[in-house]
Amino acid sequence: MEVVLIDSGGANIGSVRYALERLGVNAQLSADAETITRAERVILPGVGAAGAGMARLRELGLVDVVRNLSQPLLGICLGMQLLFESSEENETACLGLVPGRVRKLAAGEGIRVPHMGWNALQPRRDDALLAGVDTGAQAYFVHSYAAPVSDDTIATATHGDPFSAVVRRGRCWGAQFHPERSGHVGARLLENFLSDRLA
């Protein structure tokens, strides 16, 4: 299977690539529109700020390329947030593939921002991406902003308030957590993304 990681400049690209290698997939890192469009699976990784992430996609001429993909697309961490219409972070207009606005997590007593560490996933509905991922399965998060729970949410996590941990709209999926750092749960999610069930 031809899998492309969009060269979005995120610090997690190397670890995502290695996680895919452990599953027997040699993913290509690319910013070439033709290569990305030709791939069977596309992954948009990302770490950092929404404004910088969108600026990078614009600089590479990839905003419309990503918006018009017809194959399965998975956004990871910031990559998931960029799938939404906008982010409060620097008032950033994003890709608009998933309705909604990403907002800063609310700090409170015992609730630190950024949210860093393991947290339980609570699936909300069946989806091929979450096959074999049980209620309460632990995933590793590092983020200060999150998407609200909506009809596109297929799993939540709670840090103060519930937020979207995994989303799906049409051919687009997003994981707020880092599958490449989430042990067997993350490996299962990536394996599901590569499976024929998503085709």
CB 99 within 8 A of CB 66: no
- Tell me the residue range of the domain where 125 lies: 3-198
Distance CA 75, CA 8 (A): 11
Q: Of residues 115, 159, 178, 191, which has the active-site annotation?
A: 178
**Residue 143 is among the residues annotated as catalytic for this protein:** no
Distance CA 8, CA 173 (A): 17
Q: Of residues 77, 94, 143, 172, which has the active-site annotation?
A: 77
What is the CATH classification number for the domain harbouring 132?
3.40.50.880
Q: How many domains does the chain have?
A: 1
Q: Of residues 89, 159, 172, 180, which has the active-site annotation?
A: 180
**Residue 77 is among the residues annotated as catalytic for this protein:** yes
Q: What tens digit of pLDDT does each residue of 79-134 get?
A: 999 999 999 999 999 999 999 999 999 999 989 999 999 999 999 999 999 999 99
**Residue 184 is among the residues annotated as catalytic for this protein:** no
| Type of residue numbered 199 | A
Q: What tens digit of pLDDT does each residue of 155-187 get?
A: 999 999 999 999 999 999 999 999 999 999 999
Contacts of 15 (CB under 8 A, 6+ apart): 178, 180, 181
